[in-house]
Amino acid sequence: MSTRTVTVLISGTGTNLQALIDARQARRLDLEFVQVVSNRPEAPGLRRAQQAGIPVTVVDHTEFADREAFDRELANTVAQGAPDLVVLAGFMRILGPAMLQRFENRMINLHPSLLPLYRGTDTYRRALEAGDREHGASVHFVTAELDGGPVISQVRIPVETGDTPERLEARLAPREHDLLVATVELFTRHPVQCCHGSITIDDKPLARPLELQADARLPV
Ligand SMILES: Nc1nc2c(c(=O)[nH]1)N[C@@H](CN(C=O)c1ccc(C(=O)N[C@@H](CCC(=O)O)C(=O)O)cc1)CN2
Ligand SMILES: NCC(=O)N[C@@H]1O[C@H](COP(=O)([O-])[O-])[C@@H](O)[C@H]1O
């Protein structure tokens, strides 16, 4: 079944959320945003959702005794909207069993590296320190293994002489927006299934991640 309803999880500025909102406004994405949920009450992305008329909820991780309690409340909050797909767009908390049991196989994350390289955080600095000639971003299914879920799509950019983590991040950002929009569009047009380590699109196995093309589309 393809995706019709989406809940987006954020923690920060929300530029990837904004890219999804703009793509829906431009009728490139045929979907409904059920809600935007942030673990940080001060996340600027919440204002972007409100301005787009999307319901927002804050589940502040600092208000819970432990991770499990936060995870349960987050899972209950997301489940109220019964989304077809949960999109982590700059969501900065590691999810536990409550979220994974309810949404695994229909929860995706945008990660700023060419997975499996550089799982976790601080990916730009790590890529530069390794002397990589290219960097990029990945969209993958969320599993218990942090940033270890099957990778759906990727976008590559060259590392340029003199790059700093900030310059590399700034150059990747617009391509991340393109990648996330194209990947969510894929979910709205095709049944994309996971897991046990592999992905199918239209019931056909995906042998390797889809590479974002210059026209900001995925080759499907
Ligand atoms: N179970 C999973 N949870 C999450 C995944 C995943 O693949 N499996 N992806 C991450 C997203 N992510 C990188 O793409 C990521 C986010 C956060 C962290 C992290 O170390 N978070 C710290 C807190 C940091 C903060 O609050 O600023 C933590 O949770 O203790 C690593 C990777 C989303 N969740
Ligand atoms: N580990 C997850 C992670 O680092 N995600 C990164 O957070 C940023 C969110 O930006 P945004 O809030 O402007 O969309 C994006 O660069 C995304 O790759």
ipTM > 0.90 for the complex: yes
154-199 per-position pLDDT tens digit: 999 999 999 999 999 999 999 999 999 999 999 999 999 997 789 9
pTM over 0.90: yes
Residue 43: what pLDDT?
98
Domain 4-211 fold: Rossmann fold (3.40.50)
Give Cβ neighbours of residue 125 (< 8 Å, ≥ 6 apart): 165
Q: Does the annotation flag 197 for ligand binding?
A: no
Question: Which residues, given as ranges, of the chain have pLDDT below 50?
Answer: none
Say what angle helices 165-189 and 15-25 make with each other, to 10 degrees: 40
Q: Does the annotation flag 152 for ligand binding?
A: no
Give the start-to-end residue ranges of the domains of the chain.
Answer: 4-211
Residue 51: what pLDDT?
98
Using DSSP, state whether 94 is helix, strand or coil.
coil
Active site residue 111: yes
**For the CA of 168, the nearest ligand:** 2
* Residues near ligand 1 (Cβ within 6 A): 88, 91-95, 109, 111, 120-121, 142-144, 146-147, 149
